[in-house]
Each structure stands twice: as structure tokens, then as C-alpha cells.
Amino acid sequence: MTPLTWTEKALFDPESRGQASVFLFILILIVISIVQLSISAQYTEFYNENKAVFLYTEWAITLIFTAETIARIITRPRPKDYLLTPSFLIDILAILPTWLGLFISVDGKTLAWLRGFRMIRLLRTLKFVKHIEKLDHWGLSLISRIGPYMALAFSIKALLIYSEGIGYWPSIPGLGTVVSVVGFAIGVLLSTKLATVQNRMYNFEEQITNLIGSAEAAKAHIKDATPLNKWIIEIHQTITKQKPITDFENENQSMKESFVNQIPGPIWLGLHQSARLLLHKTKTKTPEVYDSALKNITIIYISTVILTIPGLTGLLASFLVVYVLGGLFIVIDSMDLPYDPSENALINSDLSTLEEYIERQGLSPNH
């Protein structure tokens, strides 16, 4: 891969850790520029005392953004594919205010407001959603899912901080206790669901070991284990959604006919009880009413934190509450089904015991 192609991938479609690092570096600079914008409006005294530092930082970021925009144009095989997009307009608006300051006299607040277009750039982190499968290999699965929401919350709060500084958004005091109590209540609700889904996953894996134990016990009473092995493979393929449950039912009937009066009742019961419980748990989820209520409460709480907690404290609180509550909600939701064969699944039950048993029979769990 040529340096030009590598750079294009890094800026438009990161595939490797190195390319993702470039993308994340640019994102961090955007965050810094937004924090600077917020401080300049909300904490004017601190900003004026350290104006030189802020100006040097602003120019450094502007130069990097300018180089990035030029690189985006140069690396594109057809530059108009970038020039004729909203992304190009946003990138230009992100660097234009600082460059304008060199040539024309513009009111400071007007320039600060124009620099707010960098907040819009944060929304471009939504493109990470398209790269979830790749990010899974980089250990960033959760970040790829929660990142866009964190960016959205961060940009909204930064805009509100600026609005507070120029008097366009009111301070809302006295909600600290309410916010704390409601946050604790949401934590309890999430913990309750976590305990439920974690127990479901544990029981799922326990039933796998029970199934294997019953199968081993059944072999002492049958001459040919081929129908039994095929039956267990059907269970695995039904769990992993390789085959519909109707195929398992057909194989189940075939096994019943093969082992009439051969397997003792208690062992037969253990086999079928474990199989039915496994297949049932693959489609059992938390009641929709509970899920919807928890989701809506979490969203309302996060929105309240963003809208009411003032200043940089509110910015940090917004960032953390989205990551902690939003991330926890996503993790718990991904555990709702004990096993999800989709590539976007974050957490799954361990099927290795079942797969190793099948392989010990000289068979493949996927055939």
C-alpha cells in the first residue's frame, strides 16, 4: 500500500490500528478546540490570563486541520468526491475563522461562534458505526457503539456552555440532589437487569455441561452413537442460527425412533430437558416493557444532566454519564440473549465445551 493510499484510508475509511490512530488524533484535536471555545465564553478571566497559550494551541490545531483538509483533497482519486460533500464545507468552516483573523478585523465573539462549527465535526464520528466489525478486532467494540452518543452529548453540552457564557442559556440550580437520587435509582435498575441476564448466561452454560454429561451416560446403553451425535450437532447449529429449529425437531424425532427402549428414563429426561432449556433460552429476553422503561429513563436522565449541570463540570458529567450509563446499558443489552451469533455481538456464552465434545467424536460442529 502506497503512503498516499494509506493516508486516504486513514482519513476516510480506517482499517488498521495505525489508521484508526490518525482518525482518533484528529477527533482529540476537535475535542480540545471545543473545550477552548467553551472556556473562552464561560471562563473569560481564566482565558484572558492564559490567552497566549490558548492562541498558540488554536493556531497549532488550525494548521493541523488545514493540512488534514488539503490531504483529504490530494489523496482522493477524484477530489470532487470530497469537495462536493457537506464534510468539505464543515472542514472549511472549522479553519476559516482563524485564518480570517489574520486579514480582517472580526468581533471576538463572532469568531468564537464561527469556531463552533468544529462541534459539527464531532458528529462525523458516526462514521465509526460503519466500522464496528473492524473495531471488534482492535478491542474497541464498546467504544465504537457508545462513541457517537458521547460525541453528540459532548457537542451539545459544549454549545450550551458557550450559550451560558454569552447569556443565551439559563443556569438551573438546585437539581444536584434530584440528579444524584435518580442516577442511583437507574443504577439499581441496571444492576437488577445485569443480575438477571448474567444468571441466564450462567444457567445456559450449565445446561451445556448437563447435556454433555447425559450424552456420555447414554453412550453406555447404545450400540451406535451416530444418531445421538447428529442430534447434538443439530442443537449446536440451532443455537448458532445455522439451521432453523424445524431441522432439530426432525432430527429429534429420528433419534427417538433410533433409541426406543435403549436409553434409561432418567438419562433420556436429562438429555431432552437440557436440550429444550438451551433452545428456549436462545430466544428468551427481558420483557419489552421493562427494557423500554429502562431505556427511556436513562435517556431522560442523561438529557437532564446535559441540560442542567453548568460549566465544565457539566461537560465532564455529560461525557461520563453517557459512557457509564449508556455503555452499561449496551453491555447488558448485548447479554440479554445468552448466545447471539451475529458479528456485532459483544458478549456471548461459551460454547467451547459443546464444540470440543463434538470434535472429540471426530465431527465438526458446523457440518
Cell numbers that stand for 196 in this block: 438477571
- Cell 428414563: give the residue: 265
Q: In the chain, count of helices (H) and strands (E)?
A: 18, 0
Q: Where are the beta strands (DSSP E) in the chain?
A: none
**pLDDT at residue 118 is higher than 60:** no
> pLDDT tens-digit profile of 276-293?
999 998 888 888 888 889
Mean pLDDT, residues 264-273: 91
Share of the chain above pLDDT 90, in %: 19
Report the pLDDT value the prediction gives residue 213, as an integer from 0 to 100.
93
**pLDDT at residue 141 is higher than 90:** no
Mean pLDDT, residues 320-336: 89
pTM above 0.85, yes or no: no
Q: DSSP states of 8-57 as a string?
A: HHHHHS--SHHHHHHHHHHHHHHHHHHHHHHHHHH-HHHHHHTHHHHHHH
CA 325 to CA 319: how far, in whole Å?
10
Report the pLDDT value the prediction gives residue 10, as an integer from 0 to 100.
79
**pLDDT at residue 204 is higher than 90:** yes
Report the pLDDT value the prediction gives residue 239, as an integer from 0 to 100.
92
CA 365 to CA 367: how far, in whole Å?
6
Confidence class for position 7, pLDDT limits 50, 70, 90: confident
Please provide the average confidence, as pLDDT, over all residues in the chain.
82
Cell numbers that stand for 110 in this block: 463572532
Contact between 221 and 267 under an 8 Å Cβ cutoff? The reply is yes
Q: Where are the domains of the chain?
A: 3-165, 176-367
> pLDDT tens-digit profile of 41-62?
777 788 888 888 888 888 898 8
Report the pLDDT value the prediction gives residue 168, as an integer from 0 to 100.
77
Confidence class for position 232, pLDDT limits 50, 70, 90: very high
**pLDDT at residue 133 is higher than 60:** no
**pLDDT at residue 364 is higher than 60:** yes
Cell numbers that stand for 186 in this block: 437507574
**pLDDT at residue 211 is higher than 90:** yes
Of 32-36, 237-241, 334-338, the poorest mean pLDDT is in: 32-36
Tell me how far CA of residue 357 lies from CA of 244, 252, 254, 352, in angstroms.
22, 19, 21, 8
CA 93 to chain centre: 29
Report the pLDDT value the prediction gives residue 215, as an integer from 0 to 100.
92
Share of the chain above pLDDT 70, in %: 88
Mean pLDDT, residues 172-188: 84
- Our CA dihedral for 212, 215, 216, 221, rounded to 10 degrees, sits at 170
Q: Residue type for 249, please?
A: E
> pLDDT tens-digit profile of 85-117?
877 887 887 787 778 767 766 555 555 555 555
Q: DSSP states of 148-171 as a string?
A: HHHHHHHHHHHHHHHHHHTTSS--
CA 336 to CA 338: how far, in whole Å?
6
* 174 Ramachandran zone, left/alpha/beta (phi>0; psi -120 to 50): left
Contact between 278 and 239 under an 8 Å Cβ cutoff? The reply is yes
**pLDDT at residue 23 is higher than 80:** no
The residue among 68 and 136 whose pLDDT is bigger is 68
